[in-house]
Amino acid sequence: MNERNPAFVRGEMLPAREPPAGEMGLLKLLRKSLFNNWLSSILTVISLIVLVWIVRSTSPWLFDSVWNAHSLSECRQMLGVAEGACWAVIRDRWTQLLFGFYPPEQYWRPVLAFALMLLALSPVLFPPVPRRLLWFSAVFPGLAYWLIWGGTLWLPVTAYAGIAVGAVSLRLTARLGAGVGAGLAFIGALTWWFFASEPVTTMLGQLLPLSLAPVTSREVGGFLLSIVIGVTGISFSLPLGIVLALGRRSKMPLVKTLSVVFIEFIRGVPLITLLFTASLLLNYFLPPGTNFDLILRVIIMVTLFATAYMAEVIRGGLAALPRGQYEAAEALGLDYWKAQRLVIMPQALKISIPGIVNSFIGLFKDTTLVVFIGLLDPIALSNSIRATTNWQGIYWELFVFIGALFFIFCFGMSRYSMHLERRLRTDHR
Q: Mind listing the pLDDT tens digit for each residue in 236-270?
A: 999 999 999 999 988 888 889 999 999 999 988 99
**For 222, left (φ over 0), alpha (ψ -120 to 50), or beta?**
left
Q: pLDDT class for 55, splitting at 50, 70, 90?
A: confident
Q: Mind listing the pLDDT tens digit for each residue in 103-160?
A: 999 999 999 999 999 999 999 888 888 888 888 999 999 999 999 999 999 999 998 8
Residue 351 · residue 321 · CB < 8 Å: yes
Q: Does the structure show a pLDDT above 90 at 19? A: no
Say which residues have a Cβ less than 8 Å from residue 325's Cβ, sequence separation at least 6.
343, 344, 347
Residue 398 · residue 385 · CB < 8 Å: yes
Residue 317 · residue 352 · CB < 8 Å: yes
Candidates 3.90.79.10, 3.20.20.70, 2.160.10.10, 1.10.3720.10; correct CATH number of 89-123+220-423?
1.10.3720.10
- C-alpha–C-alpha distance, residues 197 and 164, integer Å: 12
Q: Does the structure show a pLDDT above 60 at 54? A: yes
In three-state secondary structure terms, 86 is: strand
Asked which of 15-24, 195-204, 335-344 is least confident by mean pLDDT, the reply is 15-24
Instruction: Tell me what pLDDT residue 39 has.
Output: 85
Instruction: Tell me what pLDDT residue 32 has.
Output: 75
- C-alpha–C-alpha distance, residues 189 and 199, integer Å: 15
Share of the chain above pLDDT 70, in %: 90
Instruction: Tell me what pLDDT residue 144 has.
Output: 93
How far from the centroid of its chain's Cα atoms is residue 418's Cα? 15
How far the first Cα of the chain sits from its last, in Å, is 43
Beta-bridge partner residues of 220: 100
pLDDT, greater one: 334 or 305: 305
Nearest CA to 358 out of 404, 423, 416 is that of 416
Instruction: Tell me what pLDDT residue 103 has.
Output: 93
Asked which of 67-81, 214-228, 343-357 is least confident by mean pLDDT, the reply is 67-81
Say which residues have a Cβ less than 8 Å from residue 184's Cβ, sequence separation at least 6.
169, 170, 173, 176
- 270-297 in b/e form (b: 16+ CB < 10 A) is ebeebbeebbeebeeeeeeeeeeebbeb
Q: CATH 1.10.3720.10 residue ranges in the chain?
A: 89-123+220-423
Averaged pLDDT score across all residues of the chain = 85
Q: Count CB-CB contacts under 10 A for residue 110.
A: 23
pLDDT, greater one: 404 or 425: 404
Say which residues have a Cβ less than 8 Å from residue 97's Cβ, sequence separation at least 6.
90, 222, 223, 378, 381, 382, 385, 398, 401, 402
Instruction: Tell me what pLDDT residue 57 has.
Output: 78
Instruction: Tell me what pLDDT residue 2 has.
Output: 55
Residue 413 · residue 359 · CB < 8 Å: no
Nearest CA to 241 out of 268, 225, 262, 265 is that of 262
Instruction: Tell me what pLDDT residue 24 has.
Output: 64
Instruction: Tell me what pLDDT residue 403 has.
Output: 93
Which DSSP letter does residue 388 get?
Answer: S
- C-alpha–C-alpha distance, residues 160 and 138, integer Å: 10
Q: pLDDT class for 213, splitting at 50, 70, 90?
A: very high
Which DSSP letter does residue 335 get?
Answer: -
- C-alpha–C-alpha distance, residues 228 and 216, integer Å: 14
Q: Does the structure show a pLDDT above 70 at 5? A: no
Instruction: Tell me what pLDDT residue 22 has.
Output: 59
Q: Mind listing the pLDDT tens digit for each residue in 282-300?
A: 666 666 666 678 898 899 8
Beta-bridge partner residues of 211: 152
